Every structure is written in structure tokens, then in C-alpha cells.
Amino acid sequence: MRTTFVFPLLLGSALLAPTALAQTAINETRPLDARGRVDISNLKGRIEVRGWERDEVKITGTLGKGVERLEVDGGGPHLSVEVRYPKSSGWGGNKTGPTDLVLMVPLRADLDIESVAADVDVNGVAPSELSIATVSGSVVAAAAPRKAGIETVSGSANLTLNSEDVDVQTVSGGIVLRGRLNGDISTETVSGRIEVTVTGEQVRDLSASTVSGTASVNTALAPGGEISMESVSGDLLLRLPKGVSAQVSGESFSGDLKATGVTIEKQRGPGSSFTTRYGSGSGRVTVETFSGSAEVRVE
């Protein structure tokens, strides 16, 4: 799973130059193992991926004006699909048109998708691993990967996932994550908003971290599980169901703190904190903020 915002695509295929080619229709099919892997790369435009019960990949769509070619390599265990742009000494993206890719892939095939400005839409797949990295494109996904890693810089991420392991990172883009999430869940942003809603499951380990954005989490906690939320100036809200079992602590330097069933007493000087226990206290919950407010709500 990726852990940084470093996209090698920016250094290579993002170098563009004008050509006289017009839009070209795409219609190609390649064999792929049911649990093979597909790597997809498109600088700008759109990448749409859908799952089906066939051991092959069907690629349709249109190449943008000025694009050099669509390069499709491999088959069997691994297939690579890359939109190739003419190389030049500088950035010429405004002189080539957007490329739209539509791929039908085996339902359980792993996916590794990279773009700079292309929007990404993934639906109806259940891979072992799903990896999506984009700079300014938006990401929409409705899938059931065992592991998912999503990265954007300024693009938003709107995700409905049934997964054991999810890592979502943005800089200024918002994160909306929902679904049956029962394992390790990590969300991180600098200035974007985080919204996490877990349905029908109990998380084992969940973290939500933001600098100036707000974060809202609604989830149940597995026995012995852990939830951590932190911000610098953003507000934090954690909703837990009645019957939750956890040791809970909160801390803020200049923001307000609230927790169900807890009276927060003002301390001398800056800063406030609290500790409490819900149920037998088998799990652990921490909320920390510097100047933002933080609330733990049991409902």
C-alpha cells in the first residue's frame, strides 16, 4: 500500500507535445487470469473500470487529440494499459485532448491505477488489492477489495468499500469513506474534510488525521480495538453506539472538549483534557486537537 504522495507518472508520461492527430476510437480485448493484475495509466480525461465474470479485459473509449497511442502489453497474469503522449522538454498538456478509457476487467483482478488529472471511477470489482493514485482528478469507487490504497492531492475521494484494510490520503481533497470496514482504516488529509461511516461492522484500528480540515467518524469498535483522531485546527467528532466498550481520552490546547456523560472542568492556564470509560473499557479511543474542538458522542 502506498504511503507517500510521490507519483512517478509526473516525471514520465506527463510530458506532452502537440500533434495533429484527432480523437481515435478504442476497441481492444486481451486475455487475463481471473486473479491477474491490471495496471492502468492515463494522464488526463477519465478512467472507468467495471467488473465482469470473464477472463479477459475489454478496453473501449477514445484517445484524445494529439495523443501518441494506447499501449497495451501482456496478458495472462498481468496486463498493462497506458496512454502514451509525445515527449518534449516541457509541459504541453493544454495541447492534447483528454482520453477516456472504459475497461471491463475480471471481477477479482487486482487494479493499480495512476493518473494526473484524469477522474477515476471504479465499480463492481472485488480484487485482493486496489490502488489508485491521482493528482487533481477525483476518485469514485464502489468495490470490495481486501486492501485499498487511495491517494490524491487536490482531487476528492468518494468511496464505498467493503474492506479489511483501507488507507486514504489527500492534501486538499475531501474524503468520504463508507461501507463494511472491519479491519485497519487510515484516513489522512491536510486541509480537506474527512467523513467516515462504518456500517454493519466493528473496526479494529481506525485513524483520522487532519491539519486544518474537519473529521467526522461514525463507527462501532471491536473488542480491544483502537480509534485515534487528531487535528491541529480542525474540529473532530466521533460517534459511537451505545454499548461501546472503551477507555476514552481527549486533549486540546485551546479548543472545546465534549464527551457523553463527562463534565469537562476548566484547568488553570491553557489546555483541557478528560478521561472516561464506557462499558468494561476493553478498547481505546483518543481525540487530540490543538485549537479545534473535539467531541465523543455515544448514541
Are 175 and 286 contained in the same domain? yes
For residue 24, the enclosing domain spans 9-117
For residue 131, is it within any domain? no
Domain C-terminal end among 97, 117, 137: 117
Give the number of domains in the chain.
2
Are 288 and 170 contained in the same domain? yes
In which band, very low, low, confident or very high, does the pLDDT at 266 lie, cut at 50, 70 and 90? low
Are 160 and 294 contained in the same domain? yes
Are 182 and 256 contained in the same domain? yes
Residue 10 is given by DSSP the state G
Across the chain, mean pLDDT equals 90
pLDDT confidence of residue 237: 98
CA–CA distance, 285 with 208 (Å, rounded to integer): 12
Are 166 and 289 contained in the same domain? yes
Domain C-terminal end among 102, 117, 132: 117
Q: What is the mean pLDDT of residues 194-204?
A: 96
CA–CA distance, 7 with 134 (Å, rounded to integer): 8
For a pLDDT cut of 90, what percent of the chain falls above it?
A: 83
pLDDT confidence of residue 249: 96
For residue 128, is it within any domain? no
- 134-138, 171-175, 255-259: range with lowest mean pLDDT: 255-259
Q: Is residue 154 a contact partner of residue 172, using CB atoms and an 8 Å limit?
A: yes
Strand-pairing partners, residue 226, are 205, 284
Q: Which residues contact 186 (CB under 8 A, 6 or more apart)?
A: 166, 167, 168, 206, 207
The single-letter code of the amino acid at 294 is: A
